[in-house]
């Protein structure tokens, strides 16, 4: 839900950006851990091959939160003041030279991950693995952004800006699902019932999966997943300190997996597909233990740079461990899923909204896991919202 008094106005506002010269642009700029400053930056007209977009909605991601809280995300460390945000959509306000496929006023989803275009991964049309560019260019928590037109995608008429912003995390899940080759009637375990986990549940259901179990330490999230029809059942884990040793972690993981199987898939050898959306070492380990022989574990969550895994268990049971970094050629299909209504109710994932000027409050809310009124937070949006 939105903070009291907030109304989304993005669908009715018309951008008034000029291409005659640099213009004012409000931006939420990260200068270090928990140090976001609202700045008035100048933005130049779009260059050749670019379009300028008036950003209407940006979803905050777990990686954004890591940058905000710690000044880094895994091995990627903040090297300069920069604008966070990469799950975004908006309306084209200006067109650069050579851009013919778009016009001012087009509503677009922004594919923020710009690949290098020169490495082997890019040349084999698997640009998800390309990481040769600066890890994060200036992001979308600003009023306007210039972006290569080839990474913009027209939104279906029935798609909202918020849904189009969810296309980015949905693309990650879609990429993982393609790699895991999920089939109808297969059993699915989703570890982590945040926005990505809920989207994994929703996509698995749309593809005809059988039993879908959503796991989290927050009972409100597992109940949400079930009550909104995304998961078959929810499983809430007790909150406990993280294990101090590898042995403790592996023992906890095995216990977790056995509990999940005994309760939700008794008499079976495990889940056909596991979406690991937490990045927590014990959850990655549990995913391996809980997978059926020949099953797939899609490693979506980030946060543990080095984890000790029960590889012998995976090898002996021929469990495939699938790395997932970004996505590749997914935006068209993801937008179609939203536009055709194949993911009913996913708009409810957006629980909390803030205007750009309250970006810092948005991050603090995401970090707490609940808003000022104690309500559960799944996906926080920052954008064109009025008080």
Ramachandran area for residue 81 (φ above 0: left; ψ -120 to 50: alpha; else beta):
beta
Q: Judging by DSSP bridges, how do beta strands 107-111 and 87-95 pair with one another?
A: antiparallel
CA-atom Rg of the chain in angstroms: 21
Stretch 380-387: mean pLDDT, rounded?
89
Q: What does the pLDDT read at residue 127?
A: 56
Q: Can you read off the two tokens belonging to residue 29?
A: 């700029």
pLDDT tens digits, residue range 18-52? 444 556 799 999 999 999 999 999 889 999 999 99
Residue 2 has a pLDDT of 37
pLDDT at 157 over 70: yes
> How high does pLDDT run on average in the chain?
89
Residues 6+ apart with CB under 8 A from 119: 130, 132
pTM of the model: 0.89
Half-sphere exposure of 224 (CA within 13 A, CB side): 25
Task: Tally Cβ neighbours within 10 Å of residue 245.
Answer: 9
Give pLDDT tens digits for 91-144.
Answer: 999 999 999 999 999 999 999 877 777 777 666 656 554 444 455 678 999 999
Q: Above 50 in pLDDT, residue 7?
A: no
pLDDT higher than threshold 90 for residue 15 = no
Return the pLDDT at 123: 63
- Burial profile 174-213: b = 16 or more Cβ within 10 angstroms, e = fewer: bbbbbbbebeeebbbbbbbbbbbbbbbbbbbbeeebebbb
Q: What is the pLDDT of residue 197?
A: 97
- How confident is residue 78, by pLDDT bands cut at 50, 70 and 90? confident
Q: Look at the block and give the residue holding tokens 């005659």.
A: 20
Give the tens place of pLDDT for each residue, 342-359. 999 999 999 999 999 999
Tell me the C-alpha distance between 151 and 242, whole Å.
40
């Amino acid at each position: 839900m939105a903070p009291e008094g907030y109304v989304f106005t993005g669908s009715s506002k018309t951008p008034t950006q000029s291409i005659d010269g640099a213009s004012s642009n409000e931006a939420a700029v990260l200068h270090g851990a928990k140090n976001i400053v609202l700045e008035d930056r100048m933005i130049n007209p779009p260059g050749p091959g670019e379009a300028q977009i008036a950003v209407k909605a940006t979803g905050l991601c777990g990686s954004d939160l890591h940058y905000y809280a710690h000044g880094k995300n895994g091995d990627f460390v903040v090297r300069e003041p920069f604008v966070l945000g990469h799950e975004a959509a908006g309306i084209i306000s200006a067109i650069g030279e050579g851009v013919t496929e778009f016009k001012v006023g087009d509503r677009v989803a922004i594919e923020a991950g710009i690949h290098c275009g020169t490495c082997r991964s890019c040349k084999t049309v698997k640009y998800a693995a390309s990481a040769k560019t600066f890890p994060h260019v200036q992001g979308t928590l600003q009023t306007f952004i210039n972006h290569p037109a080839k990474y913009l995608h027209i939104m279906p008429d029935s798609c909202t800006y918020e849904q189009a912003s969810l296309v980015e995390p949905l693309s990650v899940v879609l990429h993982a699902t393609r790699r895991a080759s999920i089939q109808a009637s297969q059993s699915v375990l989703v570890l982590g019932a945040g926005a990505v986990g809920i989207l994994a549940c929703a996509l698995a259901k749309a593809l005809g999966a059988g039993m879908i179990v959503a796991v989290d330490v927050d009972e409100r999230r597992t109940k949400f997943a079930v009550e909104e029809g995304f998961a078959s059942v929810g499983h809430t884990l007790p909150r406990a300190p993280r294990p101090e040793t590898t042995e403790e972690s592996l023992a906890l993981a095995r216990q977790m997996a056995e509990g999940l199987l005994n309760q939700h898939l008794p008499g079976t050898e495990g889940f056909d597909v596991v979406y690991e959306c937490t990045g927590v070492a014990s959850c990655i380990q549990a995913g391996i233990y809980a997978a059926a022989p020949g099953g797939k574990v899609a490693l979506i969550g980030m946060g543990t740079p080095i984890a000790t895994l029960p590889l012998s268990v995976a090898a002996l049971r021929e469990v495939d461990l699938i790395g997932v970094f970004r996505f590749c050629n997914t935006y068209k299909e993801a937008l179609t899923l939203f536009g055709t209504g194949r993911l009913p109710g996913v708009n409810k994932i957006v629980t909390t909204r803030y205007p750009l000027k309250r970006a810092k409050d948005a991050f603090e809310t995401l970090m707490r896991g609940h808003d000022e009124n104690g309500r559960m937070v799944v996906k926080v949006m920052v954008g064109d919202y009025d008080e």
